[in-house]
Amino acid sequence: MGVWDWKVIEKQANAALAKKADDVNASRRQAHAVGMQGNASQAIQMLEKHIYQQPKDVKAMDMLAAFQLIAGRNEDALATCDKALKTDANAKYIRYNRAIACLRSGKAEEGIRDLGTAIEANAEYRETAAEDADFAPLAANSRFKALLEPPKKQA
C-alpha cells in the first residue's frame, strides 16, 4: 500500500467501522478517503453526519471546511470554521481554512489575520500559503508578504 492509497484507506476505515460502529477516527478517515478520491459532496455528507454524532470533533469540522472549500461552498466553510473555533478556540490550525474562506468571501483583511494566527501556531503554513493559489491575489499585499517572510533571528 502506498502512503496515500485512498481506496485502501477507505477499505480499512470501513473494516474498522464494521467492528466498532462508533470509531470516531475511522469515521473521519472514511470520509477523508472518499473526499480524496474526488467525491467532495459525499465526503461533506459523511462529515456532516459524523459531526452530528460527534459535535465536539473539531478535526472533522476542519476537514469538513476543507471539502466545502473544494466544493466552492465558501460561506459554509467559513461557518464551519467558526463553529469549530467556538468549540475549541485553541484549535488554531482551523485558521488556515478560515483564512481561505475569508479571502474567497471578500474578507481579505480578516483572512490575513487568520493566516497569521495559523502560521504562529504552525510555521509550516508559511510555505503552504506561499504555494497556495488561493493566496495569489494577496501577492502584492505588504501584510501578506510579511507573513511569508522567515522569522527574524533573535540576537
Give tens-digit pLDDT for 114-127: 999 999 999 999 99
Examine residue 62 and state whether it is found in any structural domain, yes or no.
no
The answer to whether residues 31 and 79 belong to one domain is no
Residues 145 and 112 occupy one common structural domain:
yes
Residue 19 in any domain: the answer is yes
Quick check: 53 pLDDT over 90? yes
The verdict on residue 63 lying in a domain is no
**Cα gap 83→106, rounded to integer Å:** 20
| Confidence (pLDDT) at 1 | 44
Q: How many domains does the chain have?
A: 2
pLDDT at residue number 154: 67
Range of the domain at 17: 1-55
Find where cell 473539531 sits: 58
Within this chain, do residues 11 and 48 fall inside the same structural domain, yes or no?
A: yes
pLDDT value at position 94? 97
Looking at the domain assignment, is residue 64 inside a domain? no
pTM over 0.85: yes
